[in-house]
Chain A
Amino acid sequence: MLWYIGKRLIQGLITVWFIATATFFAMHNVPGDPLLNERATTPTIRANLEAKYGLDQPVTTQYFIYLKNIVRGDFGISFAQENRQVNDIIREHFPVSAILGVLAVIIAAVGGILWGSLTALYRNRLPDYLIMFLVILGISVPSFVIAAISQLGIVTLNNLAGTTVLPVAGWGTIFHMLVPALVLGLSTMAYLTRLMRSSMLEIVNSDFVRTAKSKGVPPARIFARHQLRNAVLPVITVLGPSIAAITTGGFVVEIVFAIPGLGRFFVEAVQQLDYTVIMGTTVFYGTFLVFMVILVDVIYGFIDPRVRMS
């Protein structure tokens, strides 16, 4: 197991290096001049700035400076916001995105497993049709439309109640998080529900379930011990990529609900062509996602021994 974890970690580090390299060369290719500002810079200031950022060096040297800084965990200083380190921006805004994302993943996973097993147990009956209809809706309607409609829903709810039951936008309390997290997790939940349904349907007809039934094991125990535990395995495998989908899906939700998360900051940085923030955020997010996937795989390895054997 240790060997498996070590192998995955080394693979992860190589992937991070690949991400950092791709980011560097993609950003290097961006047309325009990072030091071209509205304020005219004298040649001296320009030369000083270029020396400071290493822009007067050849690309390969710049690349190694960049790699060295990343290894030291220093993403540099924002070009668009004065006196702000990229590290500070990440430290300030990432927790917001992370809390939202974790909440969304929990909602998506719990909801997906729950609804998926329900549909399988009530196959071709009303609950099945109802849930699968909602699932298809969740897969087909774009997240920004769901976000806007749910905001409208909150306003209507508040108007009906006469007080502020749920805040429409912003950040701060748990009430600010509920609806955005639900919207963020919705499409993943729909996807997991479908997955859970088909894996559950396979398990329901399997031999060991029939054996358990014929032995007289109570249905609740069959469900909890035999069906759920086996059916949940494929859901856990896709949880890693789902975390990636949810984290980046946060862009839209953070914009619509005015949440000060890193996703919104990234979009703003792209619009302002804030080189260091774009590169820093991409590498940071990439690293985060790579290690989340590894974490999920390792957890899966503990649950299902077949994985670490292969």
Chain B
Amino acid sequence: MTGIAAAEFARQASTEHAQTLSRPSLSYWQDAWIRLQSNRRALVSLFIVISLLILTLLGPVLWSVNPAAQDLDQISVPPGRDRSALVVAEYTPWVIPAGTVAELQLADTATTQSVRLQWAALPGAYGHRVYRNLYPVGPERAYGIPLGEFFDNSTLNFEDRLDLRPGTYYYSVVALAENGRPGTVAETLRVDVRRTTTVNEAVAQGLVGSAADIAVGDSLQVALHPLGTDYLGRDMLARLMEGARVSLFIGIIAPFIYVLMGVVYGAVSGFAGGKVDQVMMRFADFVVALPFLLFMILFKIAFGIGPGESGIFPMLIAMIVLLWPATARLVRGQILQIREQGYVEASKLLGAKSSYLIFRHMLPNTLGVVLVTLTFEIPRAIFTEAFLSFIGMGVAPPTPSWGSMSNEGIKTMLNTPHELIFPALLISITVLAFNLLGDGLRDALDARMRNTE
């Protein structure tokens, strides 16, 4: 070894540079939050979810209409309909005017109180039958529903008071043949029916302060229903908000409880391992194998619903009893994986107790997966509630839920689509928002699932 003297070695100045991190360190949750913020779909969903929760909690304060109150003047009214009503006198029986008329015509103003028709005897008629239709009578002679029949020509007038609503009706008078069957000769009249109310009704409904404020012939505005009314005249907006409380209560509380149960069960099973783990998981397997919807229905009838009960709690309990195993399996799998991780071993070597291991290392590391599961279980629970209420096995009427409202709305879907559209739309939006939020959370929290979509 020659040629290199000790003096030729020089100490280099050490720099701090190599040891400083270029970026501040982020915790798991800070990182997840930043990732979530960059996901626009998830953010919009989060916003929707929060507004739904606000609507549920604050809605009944802002729109304090009783969801069970019936407005019999406005049944199945779609939103945005003209609300003006004519004030008329109390109903008095029709004094039929003497004399004849030339053709089918109104004898009086057509109002929701009554429609009074007069006509001349049709050629060759042995009597007449009066029909009413919501649509024009086409070439297929769709006259609508028969209202009255007269088997001679002495009565040439008819008063209709059957469930009249503001709008257009088509009245037809059809000539009857000698055998009493309707012939081909007919006359049709288009009638625009005006909404009316009486002074007493207006006062009783609280539309005006006192009877002195209005007089016959005045026009006033009937009660406002921003989203219309249902088939019993109940306010849709109030019912939707009340239904949101039911649907979201079941949809959020039930998953919360059974996911928590699953976490505890899975964590115990995974941590204990061995025989205990096997027995616990076999039991979970059996519960998973139960056909879920059949047993939901079975449990619901087994718990029974007394008079005046809504059936929310039986449904909640049935869901909790049946749905915990999925989370339990998931958490157990996670715990089994984490148990073998280097940092857990290291912690053990440093003398950590089991409780410290569970609470410091294992549960926090499963939290991300659990949170994602929870967000996916919520739409599932909302769907289950809606499904059961739809087949009549869910909440009992008159308690509104979005599912039971859809069930009622679907029966009159052609004539009054708003009764189906609003609850169905709310279910869809809620489920969609939770699904997208779940996707976003999974991307943000679960490193392995990242960038697959």
Given contacts A19-B289, A22-B290, A266-B294, contact A139 B435 (CB under 8 A): yes
Given contacts A139-B431, A139-B435, A270-B301, contact A145 B424 (CB under 8 A): yes
Stretch at the interface among B89-97, B163-171, B382-390: B382-390
Taken together as a complex, chains A and B put the C-alpha atoms of A286 and B297 apart, in Å, by 14
Residue of A nearest to B407 (CB): A144
B387–A270 touching, CB < 8 Å = no
Given contacts A201-B452, A252-B387, A278-B298, contact A142 B428 (CB under 8 A): yes
Q: Kindly state the interface size class of chain A when it binds its partner.
A: 35 or more
A251–B453 touching, CB < 8 Å = no
Q: Which of chain B's residues have a CB closer than 8 A to the CB of A98?
A: none
A26–B432 touching, CB < 8 Å = no
Taken together as a complex, chains A and B put the C-alpha atoms of A22 and B292 apart, in Å, by 12
Interface residue B295 (Cβ < 8 Å from any Cβ of A): yes
Contact of A136 (CB < 8 Å), options: B295, B391, B420, B435: B435
Within 8 A of B (CB), among A247-304: 247-248, 251-252, 255, 266-267, 270-271, 273, 278, 281-282, 285-286, 289-290, 293
Minimum distance in angstroms from B13 CB to a CB of chain A: 46
Interface residue B146 (Cβ < 8 Å from any Cβ of A): no
Residue of B nearest to A255 (CB): B391
Given contacts A18-B286, A145-B424, contact A282 B453 (CB under 8 A): no
Interface residue A130 (Cβ < 8 Å from any Cβ of B): no
A145–B387 touching, CB < 8 Å = no
Contact of A142 (CB < 8 Å), options: B286, B290, B383, B414: B383
Taken together as a complex, chains A and B put the C-alpha atoms of A252 and B407 apart, in Å, by 11
Given contacts A141-B424, A142-B383, A201-B453, contact A270 B297 (CB under 8 A): yes
B413–A152 touching, CB < 8 Å = yes
Taken together as a complex, chains A and B put the C-alpha atoms of A293 and B392 apart, in Å, by 29
Taken together as a complex, chains A and B put the C-alpha atoms of A137 and B145 apart, in Å, by 40
A-B contacts at CB below 8 angstroms, number:
116
Q: Which of chain B's residues have a CB closer than 8 A to the CB of A201?
A: 452-453
Q: Which of chain A's residues have a CB closer than 8 A to the CB of B393?
A: 267, 270
Minimum distance in angstroms from A190 CB to a CB of chain B: 11
Minimum distance in angstroms from B179 CB to a CB of chain A: 34
Interface residue B302 (Cβ < 8 Å from any Cβ of A): yes
Within 8 A of A (CB), among B390-432: 390-393, 403, 406-407, 410, 413-414, 420, 424, 427-429, 431-432
Given contacts A140-B431, A255-B391, contact A198 B452 (CB under 8 A): yes
Q: Which of chain B's residues have a CB closer than 8 A to the CB of A23?
A: 298
Given contacts A19-B290, A22-B290, A252-B390, contact A141 B428 (CB under 8 A): yes
Given contacts A248-B294, A252-B387, A282-B295, contact A140 B435 (CB under 8 A): yes
Stretch at the interface among A27-35, A47-55, A175-183: A27-35
Q: Which of chain B's residues have a CB closer than 8 A to the CB of A285?
A: 291, 294
Q: Which of chain B's residues have a CB closer than 8 A to the CB of A270?
A: 297, 301, 393
Q: Which of chain A's residues have a CB closer than 8 A to the CB of B414?
A: 152
Taken together as a complex, chains A and B put the C-alpha atoms of A18 and B287 apart, in Å, by 9
B294–A14 touching, CB < 8 Å = no
Q: Which of chain B's residues have a CB closer than 8 A to the CB of A19?
A: 289-291
Q: Which of chain A's residues have a CB closer than 8 A to the CB of B403?
A: 142
Q: Which of chain B's residues have a CB closer than 8 A to the CB of A144?
A: 386-387, 390, 406-407, 410
Q: Which of chain A's residues have a CB closer than 8 A to the CB of B124?
A: none
Minimum distance in angstroms from B384 CB to a CB of chain A: 10
Residue of B nearest to A282 (CB): B294
Interface residue B249 (Cβ < 8 Å from any Cβ of A): no
Taken together as a complex, chains A and B put the C-alpha atoms of A290 and B285 apart, in Å, by 11
Taken together as a complex, chains A and B put the C-alpha atoms of A267 and B297 apart, in Å, by 9
Interface residue A148 (Cβ < 8 Å from any Cβ of B): yes
Chain A, residues 3-34, CB within 8 Å of chain B (1/0): the string is 00000000100110011001100110111100
Q: Which of chain B's residues have a CB closer than 8 A to the CB of A244?
A: 291-292
Taken together as a complex, chains A and B put the C-alpha atoms of A270 and B410 apart, in Å, by 22
Q: Which of chain B's residues have a CB closer than 8 A to the CB of A74?
A: none
Q: Which of chain B's residues have a CB closer than 8 A to the CB of A247?
A: 291
Q: Which of chain B's residues have a CB closer than 8 A to the CB of A273?
A: 301
Contact of A198 (CB < 8 Å), options: B295, B386, B427, B453: B453
Minimum distance in angstroms from B254 CB to a CB of chain A: 17
Q: Which of chain B's residues have a CB closer than 8 A to the CB of A266?
A: 294, 297
Taken together as a complex, chains A and B put the C-alpha atoms of A273 and B294 apart, in Å, by 14
Minimum distance in angstroms from B437 CB to a CB of chain A: 12
Given contacts A27-B302, A286-B294, contact A142 B406 (CB under 8 A): yes
Taken together as a complex, chains A and B put the C-alpha atoms of A252 and B406 apart, in Å, by 13
Contact of B304 (CB < 8 Å), options: A18, A31, A197: A31
Q: Which of chain B's residues have a CB closer than 8 A to the CB of A289?
A: 289, 291
B383–A267 touching, CB < 8 Å = no
Q: Which of chain B's residues have a CB closer than 8 A to the CB of A136?
A: 432, 435-436
Given contacts A26-B295, A31-B304, A142-B386, contact A15 B289 (CB under 8 A): yes
Interface residue A143 (Cβ < 8 Å from any Cβ of B): yes
Knowing that A142-B387, A142-B403, A144-B407 are A-B contacts, what are 17 other residue pairs whose CB atoms are under 8 Å apart, sorted by A's residue number? A14-B286, A15-B285, A18-B290, A19-B291, A27-B298, A27-B302, A139-B431, A139-B432, A141-B428, A142-B431, A145-B424, A244-B291, A248-B293, A251-B293, A252-B390, A267-B393, A286-B289
What are the 7 closest A-B residue pairs judged by CB atoms, nearest first? A140-B432, A248-B293, A31-B304, A26-B302, A15-B289, A29-B302, A145-B424
10 sample A-B contacts, Cβ–Cβ < 8 Å, listed by A number:
A15-B289, A18-B286, A32-B304, A136-B436, A144-B387, A144-B406, A144-B410, A244-B292, A282-B291, A282-B298
